[in-house]
């Protein structure tokens, strides 16, 4: 099982390093269906893995790729809603939530496939500045929404965060990818709080499996992060959009199958 955990972890880490997201939405299904963890343990385990891997993946981009001011604003806005999402998680049917989540993923992917502008926007002006009057409300709204989803579903939110940063905030794709990793780390830590306080997941945690998963994700995220700097931004954006569509299809199929059964 440890070998399988390492394989899944490597895939998740590569996605985080390459496109700044997508790993989280794959981590929970991998932990549940691939490794046999109960959902109550898989969600917090995913937050541990995604948060740790994101911190490592951002290292190659820390000096030049990250918009630290925006990362701070979006991350801070997402902290309270990530905690709230973790609390709300226990109140709803996971299958219904995943269906709604998949619909959001499809909308985000379609918007990314249609987006062609790589010249920056209100939150990433060509000269390197930020038009805060227009950018701040959008950044706060993005942080609040993605933070809530992080706590609710145990994902880092990168598959929504990257499109939101490109479409709503006008960030260039490489900047959006790097900045999203910082926000993912913040949201993952905040989203983990309700699960740690509840204490109901710890007993079901398989820590050797989680450690193997996390270690492989960290190791894979580093070369993937370096590779991402050599790949054209348009290729990253389109590849990420296709990935989101594929994952949305898988999530929808799984959720519908369990609902029918």
**Where do the domains of the chain lie?**
2-260
| Over residues 213-227, mean pLDDT | 85
Which residue in the block uniquely carries the two structure tokens 């604003």? 73
Report the C-alpha gap between 247 and 261 in whole angstroms. 21
Q: Is the pLDDT of residue 140 over 90?
A: yes
- How many whole angstroms separate alpha carbon 15 and alpha carbon 155? 13
Are 214 and 52 contacting, i.e. CB atoms less than 8 angstroms apart?
Answer: yes
Higher pLDDT, 6 or 242: 6
Over the stretch 100-131, which tens digit does the pLDDT of each residue have? Answer: 777 877 877 787 777 655 555 667 666 666 77
**pLDDT score, position 199:** 65
**Token reading at 110:** 């379609």
Lowest mean per-residue pLDDT among 9-13, 70-74, 151-155, 214-218 = 151-155
pLDDT tens string 26-78: 787 788 878 888 777 887 888 888 888 888 878 777 777 788 888 999 999 98
pLDDT at 220: 87
> pLDDT at residue 230 above 90?
no
Q: What is the pLDDT of residue 203?
A: 52
Q: SS3 string of 155-175?
A: CCCHHHHHHHHHHCCCCCHHH
* Contact partners, residue 207, CB within 8 Å, separation at least 6: none
Model pLDDT, residue 144: 92
Enter the pTM of the model: 0.76
Distances (CA, A) of 219 to 35, 98, 137, 149: 20, 29, 36, 26
Q: How far is CA 213 from the centre of its chain?
A: 16
Give the gyration radius of the chain's Cα atoms: 17
pLDDT of residue 20: 64
- Please return the burial class of 261, using the count of CB atoms within 10 Å of its CB with bins 0-12, 13-18 and 19+: exposed
- Return the pLDDT at 123: 77
Q: In this predicted structure, what is the pLDDT of residue 195?
A: 75
- 190-207 pLDDT tens trace: 888 887 777 655 555 678
pLDDT for residue 83 is more than 70: yes
Q: What's the confidence (pLDDT) of residue 156?
A: 63
CA quadruple 146, 152, 153, 155: dihedral sign: positive
Percent of the chain with pLDDT over 70: 86
Neighbours of 114 (CB within 10 A): 9
């Amino acid at each position: 099982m440890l070998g399988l955990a390492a394989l899944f972890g490597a895939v998740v880490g590569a996605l985080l390093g390459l496109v700044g997201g997508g790993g989280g939405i794959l981590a929970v299904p991998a932990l549940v269906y691939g490794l046999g963890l109960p959902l109550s343990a898989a969600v917090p385990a995913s937050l541990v893995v995604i948060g740790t891997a994101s911190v490592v993946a951002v290292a190659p981009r820390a000096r030049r790729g990250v918009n630290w001011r925006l990362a701070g604003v979006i991350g801070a806005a997402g902290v309270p809603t990530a905690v709230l999402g973790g609390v709300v998680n226990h109140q709803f049917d996971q299958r219904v939530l995943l269906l709604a989540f998949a619909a959001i993923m499809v909308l985000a992917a379609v918007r990314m496939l249609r987006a062609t502008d790589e010249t920056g926007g209100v939150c990433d002006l060509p000269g390197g500045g930020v038009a805060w009057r227009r950018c701040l409300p959008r950044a706060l709204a993005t942080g609040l929404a993605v933070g809530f989803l992080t706590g609710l579903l145990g994902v880092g939110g990168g598959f929504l965060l990257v499109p939101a940063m490109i479409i709503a905030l006008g960030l260039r794709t490489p900047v959006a990818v790097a900045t999203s990793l910082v926000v993912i780390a913040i949201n993952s830590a905040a989203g983990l709080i309700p699960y740690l306080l509840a204490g109901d997941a710890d007993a079901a945690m398989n820590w050797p499996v989680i450690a193997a998963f996390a270690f492989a994700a960290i190791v894979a995220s580093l070369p993937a992060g370096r590779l991402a700097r050599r790949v054209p931004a348009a290729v990253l954006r389109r590849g990420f959009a296709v990935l989101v569509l594929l994952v949305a299809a898988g999530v929808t199929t799984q959720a519908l199958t369990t609902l029918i059964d």
